[in-house]
Structure 1
Amino acid sequence: MFYLINDRTGEWAHKDSIGEHDGKTTKDYLEAACFEDYSEASDYSQNFGPDWRVDE
């Protein structure tokens, strides 16, 4: 599984988040947005700023 994590805060994008602007993050990986493959996660990451990266 792939996740989107913020390198500055250590939080993951929340599964209900549509982008960085909505401020929905989580420290609980069970509530994090997750993706089957890197490509899908990478597409999702386009809605987030440079502090965010795809992580396995």
Structure 2
Amino acid sequence: MTLKKLAGALIAVGLGAAAFGAHAQVSGDKVKIGYITDLSGLYADIDGQGGVEAVKMAIE
């Protein structure tokens, strides 16, 4: 794949993602915050449960 085709493909993907992005919605007085992390496996020691606790402390 040439650089020109790759650049065109990346631009197309970027425009598509921008056009169909998710919209935030609030229902009631609650706001849900999601946090994705590894609780097992290779990266669990780096972030894992400690990251979950850090997010909880940051919210408080």
TM category (shorter chain) comes to: under 0.3
Structure with max Cα Rg: 2
Q: Which one has a larger percent helix, Structure 1 or Structure 2?
A: 2
TM-score under structure 1 length normalisation = 0.27
Q: Which one has a larger percent strand, Structure 1 or Structure 2?
A: 1
Structure with greater contact order relative to length (CA < 8 Å, sep ≥ 6): 1
